[in-house]
Structure formats: structure tokens, C-alpha cells
Amino acid sequence: MAGRRSAQLRHAVVVEEKVGNTKKWDVRESAGRLEVAFRRAGDLRDNIVNLSRWKGIGAAAPLFAEAFCRANKNSRETTRSSSANNIVSGLVQYLTVKGVKISGPDDTPMDLGESFLTYLKGRDTTHPTVLSVETQRHYYGTFKKVVLALHEMDPRWKVIRIPPKPFAGLPRKSKPKELDRAAWANVMKAAVEECISTMDEVWPLLDRVHSALAQKKKGDAVSLSDPAEAIAQILANFDGHLPRQGAVHKLPGVGKISESEYFRLRRLAHPIGGDLIPFFLVLAMHSGFNEGFYPEIT
């Protein structure tokens, strides 16, 4: 097996020499990691694409990585990144559920090109999938580009056949899903109620925090048994920041705050993403959920 793979790599090197000095990438493999580096002009850093999850393909993963580089040598960085992910979500996922590993052309399933397409279309009875037509096209299109590059590297890879017009008869896009208006109304109602509940808790606390901070500025003591005043004490000692709990434990009195209580205090002052989802939904509703609105509120 090792000797056969070495021969394949030597063949790839011969093909690489035919490419000449135009090659502007490197395939780098180490223990547990596989990446490709596209060299850029001048002193600009290489465009590194992490293909470690491609190792799920099998021992031939570096050869697939070389083919990926050839297929994407003139692509934009964003295209390379999305293409790499397409292989992970498409081909690697397929090989994983099928329990197949590829070491080279000789042990590649004869029907890989066709059976992978069947899998993407959701027609594999043992491992059914539900993918939109657009996603199917993206996954198979990336697979096709890599396979055609493999064909150029070594004709033996033509064992992977690409069917002509693989999506003939299918629409370019999937039909839009029908909106369950009643269910969506319940979601929005729950989001509004959650926003109101959160603000009912936060606004009074903020008022008390402001009052406690004013007390601290005057030099007055605060009651650490009150969450709002405890926040004020911590903010005053850490220049307006809420540090990790380990640092808080060093403060007299404040160190008695439990981990769960301190986590709650921090979330009130600095909500995490999950806390803000109801607010995103309510704000986005005013734009008709136009996706261009989201970057403005995040």
C-alpha cells in the first residue's frame, strides 16, 4: 500500500514538472494536519487553506489536495475556502457514512461519481439526505472540478466517472418552502415576550448599578449582598470591566459570589449571542428579514 502510494506521488511530481514554473502552491502534510499554501506576489503572506478534514478521504487526501490546488489556482480566497468546505460537507461526509477510504485509483469504487450523485440527490435508501438543489450543485460541482484535475494528473483516476449533465431535468433552485404562518407568529410572539422579560430584569438593575457607581465615586461603601452594587464594586476595581471570576475572588467580600451568580451578573452586563437572538428577531422583523440588515445590528 505504501509503495503504491509513493508511486502515485512520484507520478504527481512528474506531472508537476510539466506544469513548469507556473506552479504557485504547496501541499503540506504533517501528523494530523493537511493544508495547502497558495503563494502570492511580493511580500504578501501565503493564502493558507486548511484541508485537515480531507484526511477522511483516506491516504489519497494529499493527491486530492494537489488536484484542488490545480482546480483553484486562479480562484479567489473566498472561493477556495468555500470549495474546501464543500468537499468536507459533500464527498468526505459521503465516504464517512459509506465507510470508504481511498488510497489511490486502484481501490476507488468504480461507481463513485454516480453513487455520490445519487447520495446528494437523496436517493440513497440506506443514507437518505435532504439537500436543496443549489447545495447539491455546489457540492457536486466542486467534486467535479477536483476529479477533472485528478484526471489530468494521472489518467488512472478516470475510474471516477463524471456523468454528463448530472442535474438534467432538475430546476436551478429548489421550490421555496411554504411558510407556516401560525408557527412563525408563535415564534415572534415568544421573541417579543422574551425581550420584554429581559428588559424588565435589566433596566431596574442598570438603574441600581448607576446609583451604586455614583456612591463609589463619592467614597461611600456599597452592599455586596446586592447584585447591582456588587457589579458596581467590581467595575470600580477593574476600570469598568468584568474580569474572570478568578480575579474577582481576590476582592474583599466580592469573592463570596458563587460561580453561577457571577456568570449571571456578567451576562446581564455583557449578554452572550444566545441572549440577543430574540432582539435580533424583533429588530429584523421591521426590515422584512432582509439579510442585508443583519450586519448592521451585529
Each residue's pLDDT tens digit, 159-170: 999 988 888 777
Residue 87 maps to a domain? yes
Number of domains in the chain: 2
Given the C-alpha cell 477533472, which residue does it identify? 148
Residues 290 and 256 in one domain: yes
Cβ–Cβ contacts within 10 Å for residue 41, how many? 6
Whether residue 91 contacts residue 139, with contact meaning beta carbons closer than 8 Å, is answered with yes
Residues 216 and 106 in one domain: no
The residue with greater pLDDT, 247 or 120, is 120
Residues 117 and 27 in one domain: yes
Given the C-alpha cell 510539466, which residue does it identify? 18
Residue 169 maps to a domain? no
Q: What is the DSSP letter of 49?
A: E
Which residues does 237 contact at the CB level (< 8 Å), separation at least 6?
251
Residues 151 and 232 in one domain: no
Burial of 92 by CB count in 10 Å (0-12 exposed, 13-18 middle, 19+ buried)? buried
Each residue's pLDDT tens digit, 130-146: 888 888 999 999 999 99
Category of 169 on φ-ψ map: left (φ > 0), alpha (ψ -120 to 50) or beta: left
Calculate mean pLDDT across residues 47-51: 94
Looking at residue 180, its pLDDT comes to 76
Strand order of the β-sheet with 33-38 is: 25-30, 33-38, 47-50
Residue 254 in this model has a pLDDT that exceeds 80:
no
Given the C-alpha cell 509513493, which residue does it identify? 6
Residues 31 and 140 in one domain: yes
Q: Which one of 159, 193, 224 terminates a domain?
A: 159
Residues 139 and 265 in one domain: no
Of the candidates 156, 150, 153, 147, the residue with the CA atom closest to the CA atom of residue 11:
153
Residue 205 maps to a domain? yes
Residues 215 and 249 in one domain: yes
Residues 118 and 227 in one domain: no
pTM to 2 decimal places: 0.56
Q: Which one of 94, 124, 159 terminates a domain?
A: 159
Residues 14 and 142 in one domain: yes
Q: Rounded to whole angstroms, how far apart are CA atoms 177 and 23?
A: 45
Residue 211 maps to a domain? yes
Residue 20 in this model has a pLDDT that exceeds 50:
no
Instruction: Place 17 in a pLDDT band, splitting at 50, 70 and 90.
Output: very low
Q: Which helix (H) or strand (E) holds 26?
A: strand 25-30
Q: Rounded to whole angstroms, how far apart are CA atoms 86 and 92?
A: 9
Q: Is 30 helix (H, G, I), strand (E, B) or coil?
A: strand
Whether residue 108 contacts residue 156, with contact meaning beta carbons closer than 8 Å, is answered with no
Task: Give the domain extent around 222.
Answer: 181-297
Q: Rounded to whole angstroms, how far apart are CA atoms 28 and 22?
A: 18
Q: Rounded to whole angstroms, how far apart are CA atoms 3 and 23?
A: 26
Q: Mark 178-193 as b/e (b = at least 16 C-beta within 10 Å).
A: eeeeeeeeeeeeebee
Residue 14 maps to a domain? yes
